[in-house]
Structure 1
């Protein structure tokens, strides 16, 4: 039987199925890698009959990936021009007679769940006023553009002559014109902006943006392994700090992680401190397992990586196709 077997120690226990087979997405179904529980694999063979001897070993490690998540509340200065809206006859107009409009940060708004991206538009209190509709000029109706306000249109069968083939047109009964179906012969239509109310309610609108900004850092410790692969897997949350404002990490064994933590926190404070309100920050360090496995196949040296808690496999160059054991 032509097979491919690999034995390697992983930093974490892999998720194996009932047959002890770890699925390898890089190879595709039905190809797979089998984890041998106790004894190392002594040989590797494939469909072409080649054999690999003496698996040199593995190099397990854990990559420390820090990240900073900042939830902000951004409220730019409201637009000075009023926004038109529908007017209900029973509506109380909250205008300047009830007081001055509060500044943006004093306007009460319901805060959504933390670390979610939400945009909400709010009417500024005491900024409403009533104005005639700009489209119909306060008449509540506009001229029908289908008949140009005439209420009738030329008959399409007799082309307005009233007769067709020397006979009276049966479509328009000899009148040469027919009632406009768009305005029902009235020559006008209800205004599409004010819906016939003749007036519009104008108010100043505030746009509130809740944004979740994430900064990640992946140390480049394996030049043969693409760092972007870490973005699609999870790790062990070794350190989690959550507060309104978090402090830089100090005393971590890897000094680079401490420097990156200080840099990310300062960047977020400089970017959001003056223009937005920081609601919450969460700082996390994930330990992502990464194992570099080496083996020899047909006299040549090869290697592959097993990474993430999901035990995904990556190889830059696979020697040949394989089958299930």
Structure 2
């Protein structure tokens, strides 16, 4: 988009160093105040329906041998757990409570601007010869999809040079360590001018003062704002943030295992679909997954298209295996869970624990 140049914004009395009062597309941007996130252009791609194909939704049942191996590894990882229930316990029954996890990922790009400064290094500029590109007109290379990333850029044609206010364009400021005096209290005699024997202190020659090491006795140090350059380059900074917004839905199951534990494991991949804008899933055997997909897709589209641009979406379904293993040890009944493709174990009522003291 081309903007007409408004000559009134470029006061000739101030020459090259005077920034315009505003730029087209950046009106209201105040130095020192973030411009906030900028609404993106409307999306151009509309989603199309996707139907899941018929496939094997089942997962093999956990064998007793695999259940016992997982239990053994779990107990071995706990120093305070006795291995007796694993060796002597008898598995009485195993129940399967497999469940589905639907995951929606919405990869977004958002942009915001603010005035910024940095030491002027003598860069060649042609300020105000043409309007700067708009925030969403700046070409920016996107990172790897579905990975968080932040990038900062200078908006072209927004630069101007100004004297550093911090040091009044001198390049130096009062030394903080000595408060500008060039000297500090002697560390040997602590300002007394004498040592413990009441003789003249050799470190400060009896003055009680030492030359400040930070400023070498000058009383001033390099300005931290302009780094001694005396001038600052003022420009509009564009901050681009890519964020992967992830939301999961897990179908309820009646095993008794807290659903929060399932966030730690993976499942058997059943379906994955990646497009700029995905369409809610249809035709999935479990109605809860289809309902969650429709609700989450619509919510993501509404929520993340307001303050950013949706770059791509990805939806997937996993079948998470859950087995409840009931076993008997010393005449009493106990149980543990084996879940996820990693065969993670949860055994809250493990019957043989002790207190360990780690030295």
Q: Same fold (TM over 0.5)?
A: yes
User: How far is the alpha carbon of 1:169 from its aligned partner?
Assistant: 7.2
2-structure distance, mates of 1:110, 1:179: 52
- Once the two structures are superposed, the pairs formed by residues 29-44 of structure 1 within 5 Å of their partners are 29=76, 31=83
| 2:52 is equivalent to residue 11 of structure 1 | no
Q: State the SS of the aligned residue for 1:72.
A: strand
8 A Cα contact 2:98 2:319, kept in partner: yes
| 2:257 is equivalent to residue 235 of structure 1 | no
User: How far is the alpha carbon of 1:28 from its aligned partner?
Assistant: 1.5
Q: Deviations over 1:62-92 (max 9, x none)?
A: 311111011110113x12xx21102112x12
Q: Deviations over 1:237-287 (max 9, x none)?
A: 101111111111111111111100001101100111122111111110001
Q: Who is 1:23 aligned against?
A: 70
User: How far is the alpha carbon of 1:305 from its aligned partner?
Assistant: 2.7
Runs of 5+ in structure 2 lacking a partner? Answer: 1-58, 77-81, 354-359
2-structure distance, mates of 1:166, 1:299: 86
Q: Who is 2:118 aligned against?
A: 85
Q: Who is 2:138 aligned against?
A: 107
Normalising by structure 1, we get a TM-score of: 0.74
Q: State the SS of the aligned residue for 1:67.
A: strand
Q: Who is 2:216 aligned against?
A: 184
Q: Who is 2:171 aligned against?
A: 140
Q: State the SS of the aligned residue for 1:217.
A: strand
2-structure distance, mates of 1:177, 1:140: 27
1-structure distance, mates of 2:300, 2:349: 40
| 2:238 is equivalent to residue 209 of structure 1 | no
Q: Deviations over 1:9-30 (max 9, x none)?
A: x82567979xx96032795126
2-structure distance, mates of 1:155, 1:291: 73
Runs of 5+ in structure 1 lacking a partner? Answer: 1-9, 35-43, 47-51
8 A Cα contact 2:70 2:338, kept in partner: no
Aligned pair partner of 1:198 in 209, 219, 230: 230
In structure 2, do the counterparts of structure 1 residues 103 and 32 end up closer, same or farther at CA, with 3 Å as the change threshold? farther
1-structure distance, mates of 2:149, 2:236: 20
8 A Cα contact 2:255 2:324, kept in partner: no
8 A Cα contact 1:25 1:313, kept in partner: no
Q: Who is 1:308 aligned against?
A: 340
Larger Rg: 1
Normalising by structure 2, we get a TM-score of: 0.68
2-structure distance, mates of 1:28, 1:62: 24
Q: Deviations over 1:133-159 (max 9, x none)?
A: 111111122234555545566878696
User: How far is the alpha carbon of 1:168 from its aligned partner?
Assistant: 7.6
Moved more, 178-187 or 276-285: 178-187
8 A Cα contact 2:97 2:253, kept in partner: no
In structure 2, do the counterparts of structure 1 residues 174 and 212 end up closer, same or farther at CA, with 3 Å as the change threshold? closer
Q: Deviations over 1:32-82 (max 9, x none)?
A: 888xxxxxxxxx945xxxxx69x3x43334311111011110113x12xx2
User: How far is the alpha carbon of 1:224 from its aligned partner?
Assistant: 1.4
More strand by proportion, 1 or 2? 1
Moved more, 216-225 or 249-258: 216-225
2-structure distance, mates of 1:102, 1:117: 25
More helix by proportion, 1 or 2? 2
8 A Cα contact 2:204 2:210, kept in partner: yes
8 A Cα contact 1:132 1:138, kept in partner: yes
